[in-house]
Every structure is written in C-alpha cells, then in structure tokens.
Amino acid sequence: MRGIGPMRRYSAFAVAREAARYHSGWERAWRSPEPKKRYDVIIVGAGGHGLATAYYLGKNFGITNVAILEKGWLGGGNTGRNTTIIRSNYLQDPSAAIYEKARSLYETMSQDLNYNVMFSPRGVLMLAQTEHEVRGYKRTAHANLLQGVETEFVSPQRVKELVPIISLDGPRYPVLGGLWQARGGTGRHDAVAWGYARACSDMGMDILQKCEVTGIRQEGGKVVGVDTTKGTIGCDKLGIVVAGHSGVLAAMAGFRLPIESVALQALVSEPIKPCMDIVVMANTVHGYMSQSDKGEMVIGGGADGYNNYTQRGSFHHIEETVRALVETFPMISRLKMLRQWGGIVDMTGDRSPILSKTPVEGMFINCGWGTGGFKAIPGSGWGMAELMAKGSSPLTEEFGLNRFAEGRFVDESVAAGVAH
C-alpha cells in the first residue's frame, strides 16, 4: 500500500499529473494500521469531533502518539448524516466563543488540511414566524453584536430578496423577519472527516476502524486503557467523543450523564435547477432547507420524542417537517424525495455541549452537541485538545459536567428551540 511516509499534497498540478497517467498514482488518504500496545492518547469515535481533537493535539501540542478508535467506519456517525449547516449566531457568550471559533476555522480549513471541504459561506437565514421569535432574534442580534459575531435582524422585504421562492404571508406561518448571518453557510460533511483523518494519519496517528470499545480499564481511579474488539490497548489519557453513544461509554466507566439519545432525521429531494442560494431555517415549524451543489434540496426536521439508538426515526416527523415547509416554499410541493435517514443525537437539557473532565482521572468527554454539532467541529476539536493537553481551555471552561450540579447552564434551548 502506498501512503506510508509523508503524504503527497493535493494541488491543481497533482490533478494534471494524475490525469496524464490515468489516475494511477493517487495514494490512500490514510493508513489502516494494526493497533499498538499503548498510546499516549486514545480518542474513541472517529467522527468530526474525535478526529478534530486528535488533529489539534498533534498540530497545537505536538502530541502524536495517538490512536482514534472507531467501531464502524470513520465519519459514519452523525458527521456523515447531517445537513451541514454552519453558523455561530448563538445567544450565550460561551456558545458564541466556541461556535465562532469553529466558523472562522472553517474559512481556512481547506488550506490548513490541504483538503477541499467545500466550505460555502452562502449565508444562513433564520426565519421569525411568530412575535416571540421576532423578539428572540432581535435579542440574539444584539447579543451577537456585543460578542463580535456579525449578524443582523432583517425585514420581510429583505427576506424576499434573499429567498425569492419564499411565501411571506403563509396563513399559518407569516414571515415577520429573520436573523441573517452572511458568513454562515454549509460544508461537505464527509470531506471534513476525511480531511482531518488524512492529516492525522500523516502526523503518524493510528486510525483504527472496525475497532469497538467494549470496556474502560482503570487503576486507582485513573484510566489505563480500553478493551476493544481488537484487544486491550493502553493509554495515559482517554477522550470519549461518541455523540449518541456517550451514555454507553460513560456506563462502562461507571458514571451517568445528563444526556438522552434520540433520532434526528433528514431527507433530500431529487435534484433541480438552482433556486435557493442560501440556507433557510424555520425553527417554529422545525424545518431547514438548503440546496446542494448537485441540486438536491437538503431538508432537516425536528428530533423524535423518545430514546432511540436505531438511526431511524418516525415517519410522521418527516411528514410534519415537509408539511410546514410546503407552506413556506410552495414550489417544493411537487418535488419527489430521494432519500431519508436518521442519526442518533445526544441531547442535554440546556442544549449546550459537554467538554469536560470526568470522575475518572485521565478520562475526558466531548458530547452533547445534539442536533447542531457539525458547525462546531473545528472549534470543539481545538478546545478539547487544549483541555486534554493542558487540563483546561478557555473555550471549554463553561461546558464542564459540573455546570449541572452548580446550576450554571449555558441555556440555548430558549434561544433556538431545536436547531441545527
């Protein structure tokens, strides 16, 4: 297999070179090694957050004796199942800090990773369809101003200019304005996982796919390794980054989390000609839509209302989402839907993530991103790496597990309801 040793860079020149030799020279993007006996750091979960954590451990702290363990294939969890909305217009200061850090890292990610993640800052518009939402979004716009996050509350007329296909005066859900973040947008979800994986592998880290963690080994209250389907592997530090499965991993270590796992679904239509060049979110009706580069309308809905690990949700939620969106975008009523799928999202009570130490020394956890963690991947990895390397990080400080006991919630549930 090629690709051991420093990776070849992707470039326009490389494309020309490979075109001239029938594309016979492309290397594998990452190695698939056998596990070593031990690593300095083990990350469980090769989704975006786990891979980004590993990447910044190497890049920012020079820690490269790292393994990333994945029970399935890398990027096969929520990272490869989401509707890829990227924005940072949250209400609370700690949220604005980590999501804006992430958004700004997305701007340069393709160059940084030498991998095209197709970040498309096309703008994100959150519709206000009730008086409460108007007030809520105005408040958020003011908060964002103070936080240095560029957003603005726009009029219905401006909404119509941005989204010509919208019906402003739907009988049930009139559009009363919107919260506009021009620098928000979308990215290619798989490419984010693949780009980080390639960079991690290039730094000498081991990505171990089809390697499920089945137990956590401790000695005297300190983590010493994990049991896996590929044997026991030792480590000094352990990062659990498994989204919907966080409760399962916490149970292995003997503690519980303030998290419930539920299904969140999305769907895409048949491809059509370009008709909407921004992302539109309608939180009152739990519907979100953007158009992919292929022309499909990408639609996300609300989360199901019961604990679920099956990666499939209930059909009536799809029906509710589509019914509401058809009122706001009448032209989609005749579209055929191509695919529908679900992911298991990890919901906290305050709808904010957990980036934290745990009751087990040396064991850290990054979870609770729920329905909206794709946008946060680089910022989360940045903060989590610092937390694991140094024991604390300004980005993660407010997101510790202790906030529940102490009643210091980072309450985003009022601000956004269920939003991606």
Partner 1 sequence: MLILDCPYCGVTAEETEFHGGGEAHLKRFGPGSSDEDFEGYLFHRENPRGVHFERWRHVNGCGKWFHVARDTATLEVFGSYSAQVTEPPQEIRDAITAKRPGWRWREFA
Distance CA 196, CA 174 (A): 42
Closest CA to 69 of 209, 244, 260: 209
Could you say which of partner 1, ligand FAD, none residue 177 binds, taking C-beta under 5 to 8 angstroms by partner kind?
none
The crossing angle, in degrees rounded to 10, of helices 131-147 and 93-107 is: 70
Q: Are 180 and 154 in contact (CB under 8 A)?
A: yes
**In the set 107, 112, 150, 212, which binds ligand FAD (CB under 6 A)?**
212
256-275 binders of ligand FAD (CB under 6 A): 264-266
Euclidean distance between the first and the last CA atom of the chain, given in angstroms as a whole number: 39
H or E element, residue 214: strand 213-219
Report DSSP letters for 278-345, one per residue: SEEEETTTTEEEEE-TTSPEEEEEEEEEEE--SS---HHHHHHHHHHHHHH-GGGGGPPEEEEEEEEE
**In the set 372, 379, 383, 400, which binds ligand FAD (CB under 6 A)?**
372
H or E element, residue 354: strand 354-357
What are the structure tokens assigned to 183, written together? Answer: 């620098």
Residue 45 CB, shortest distance to ligand FAD, in Å, is 3
Residue 154 CB, shortest distance to ligand FAD, in Å, is 21
Rounded (5°) CA angle 254-257-262: 125
Q: Is 69 in the site for ligand FAD (CB under 6 A)?
A: yes
Residue 48 CB, shortest distance to ligand FAD, in Å, is 4
**In the set 43, 48, 317, 393, which binds ligand FAD (CB under 6 A)?**
48
Q: Is 201 in the site for ligand FAD (CB under 6 A)?
A: no
List beta partners, residue 260.
347
Distance CA 73, CA 194 (A): 11
Could you say which of partner 1, ligand FAD, none residue 259 binds, taking C-beta under 5 to 8 angstroms by partner kind?
partner 1
Could you tell me how far CA 334 lies from the centroid of its own chain?
31
Q: Is 24 in the site for partner 1 (CB under 8 A)?
A: no
Q: Is 44 in the site for ligand FAD (CB under 6 A)?
A: yes
Q: Is 77 in the site for ligand FAD (CB under 6 A)?
A: yes
Could you say which of partner 1, ligand FAD, none residue 260 binds, taking C-beta under 5 to 8 angstroms by partner kind?
partner 1
**In the set 31, 198, 245, 357, which binds partner 1 (CB under 8 A)?**
245
Site residues (CB under 6 A) for ligand FAD? 44-50, 69-72, 76-79, 81-85, 212-213, 241-243, 245, 249, 264-266, 300, 343, 345, 369, 371-375, 420
Site residues (CB under 8 A) for partner 1? 245, 247-248, 251, 256-261, 305-310, 314-316, 349, 404-405
